[in-house]
Amino acid sequence: MIPVRSLAFNLAFYVWTVVMVLAYVPGLWMSWRVTVSGQRRWAGHMVWLMRVLAGIEIEIRGAEHRPAGGHLIAAKHQSAWDTLIWHLIVDDPAVVMKQELLSIPIYGAYCRKSRQIPVDRAGGPKALRRMIETARLAGAEGRPIIIFPQGTRAAPDATSDEVPYQPGVAALYRGLDLPVVPVALNSGLYWPRRSFLRRPGRIVLEYLPPIPPGLDRRAFMSRLEESIEQATRRLVAEGRAEVGG
């Protein structure tokens, strides 16, 4: 049986999402800033609901590692939380996302309006080139570009052999010539993938020292994976120790 707190949060999650989606529909005919503001408000209220209803706190570490101007953020992906939080903690994020999400009614329109970066994962080199061109425009505007280098959610204990790092992040690194900030987190302990369960505790998201442009592909991927995986193991162990298992 799903605990009452999880049920309460999930109900509030869907109600608040529907309210915000409908409230900001007129914004689709206004400036993109209206949609970005709506996404930020939605995410901010969701974090409040997490704390009040589900008992989930949030801690952000290592913010000093984020450079000014355009840069790439390569983040671990364990939970749906990882997609919403960027609308709150960075300004006007450009998130690399699956192209098929654009076909979702209304949601897809919001993603287009807020100038996210769709990628056709089955599109081969042509799709990668299109992704790089779109991301280059975002970087030129000084926007942070968010990518989940494994391309999908991974359980907290999943290894990079089980959920490997994909070539898209290397293509962006080489094509944009921007620093990459690795990000580790432990959100899957408290907001598990494919589950309605929400566990009280403290999600930690940690920015790690940036990787400067100019490395070759092999060196970059090795450094990125080692940095994220090592820090993620540490945060997952820390989270389990806090909740007693």
pLDDT per position as a tens digit, 192-235: 988 889 999 999 999 999 999 999 999 999 999 999 999 999 99
Q: How far apart are CA 147 and CA 127, in angstroms?
A: 15
The pLDDT of residue 1: 56
Q: For residue 35, what are its two tokens?
A: 């949609």
Structural domains of the chain sorted by starting position, each given as residue range(s) with its CATH number in brackets: 57-243 (3.40.1130.10)
Distance CA 154, CA 82 (A): 11
What is residue 30's predicted lDDT score, i.e. its pLDDT? 95
Task: List, for residues 163-198, the tens digit of each pLDDT value.
Answer: 999 999 999 999 999 999 999 999 999 999 888 899
Determine the average pLDDT of the residues in 90-94.
Answer: 95
User: In this predicted structure, what is the pLDDT of residue 91?
Assistant: 94
Q: 216 to each of 65, 170, 219, how far by Cα in Å?
A: 22, 9, 5
pTM, to two decimals: 0.94
Asked whether the beta carbons of 142 and 182 are under 8 A apart, the reply is no
Q: State the pairing for strand pair 117-119/94-98.
A: parallel
Nearest to 54 by CA among 19, 90, 1, 2: 2
Least confident of 42-56, 128-142, 173-187, 201-215: 128-142
pLDDT number for residue 21: 94
Q: Which value, in Å, is the radius of gyration of the alpha carbons in the chain?
A: 18
Structure tokens at 33: 């800033």
What's the mean per-residue pLDDT of the chain? 94
CA gap 182, 224 in Å, rounded? 7
pLDDT of 132 reads 92
Q: What pLDDT does residue 122 have?
A: 74
Among 4, 188, 230, 233, which residue's Cα sits nearest to residue 83? Answer: 188
Least Cα distance to 206 among 221, 192, 227 occurs for 227
pLDDT at 124: 76
* Residue 167 DSSP SS3: coil
Q: How many residues does the chain have?
A: 245
Q: What phi and psi, each to the nearest 5 degrees, are found at residue 72?
A: -100, 140
